[in-house]
Amino acid sequence: MRTLVGGGVDRMVALPYVHKPGLARALNDFTLEVSRRHPEVLPCCTVFPGEEGAEDILEQALSGPFRGVKITPTLMKIAPDDPRLDAVWRASARWRKPVVIHCGPSPRCPATAWTPRAVSGGRPAAARARPASGRHRPSFRTSGSTNTPRFEAMLPAHPNLYLDTTMVVGGYFERQPDVDILRRHPDRILYGTDFPNIPYKWDRELRAVARDASARGGRSEDPRRETRSALFGA
Q: What is the pLDDT of residues 172-181, one digit of tens each?
A: 877 777 777 8
Position with higher pLDDT, 81 vs 135: 81
Global confidence as pTM: 0.81
Distance of alpha carbon 11 from alpha carbon 82, whole angstroms: 32
Mean pLDDT of the chain: 79
45: exposed, middle or buried (Cβ count in 10 Å: 0-12, 13-18, 19+): buried
Distance of alpha carbon 59 from alpha carbon 188, whole angstroms: 27
Condensed to tens digits (0 to 9), the pLDDT of residues 138-157 reads: 555 555 556 778 888 888 88
Position with higher pLDDT, 27 vs 196: 27
The highest-confidence range among 49-53, 81-85, 161-165, by mean pLDDT, is: 49-53
H/E stretch holding 130 reads helix 122-133
Give Cα separations from 57 to 36, 62, 100 (angstroms). Answer: 19, 9, 17
HSE on the CB side for 71, CA within 13 Å? 34
Helix (H), strand (E) counts: the chain: 10, 8
* Residue 132 pLDDT class (50, 70, 90 cuts): very low
pLDDT of 128 strictly over 60: no
pLDDT of 57 strictly over 90: yes
φ/ψ of 162, rounded to 5, equals: -130, 155
Confidence (pLDDT) at 120: 52
Neighbours of 156 (CB within 10 A): 10
Confidence (pLDDT) at 181: 80
Confidence (pLDDT) at 212: 65
CATH 3.40.50.150 fits 2-107+123-232, yes or no: no
Closest to 159 in 3D by CA, of 186, 182, 135: 135
One-letter amino acid at 114 equals: W
Among 73-77, 123-127, 167-171, 205-209, name the one with the lowest average pLDDT.
Answer: 123-127
11: exposed, middle or buried (Cβ count in 10 Å: 0-12, 13-18, 19+): middle
Condensed to tens digits (0 to 9), the pLDDT of residues 81-123 reads: 889 999 999 999 899 999 998 776 655 555 555 554 555 554 5
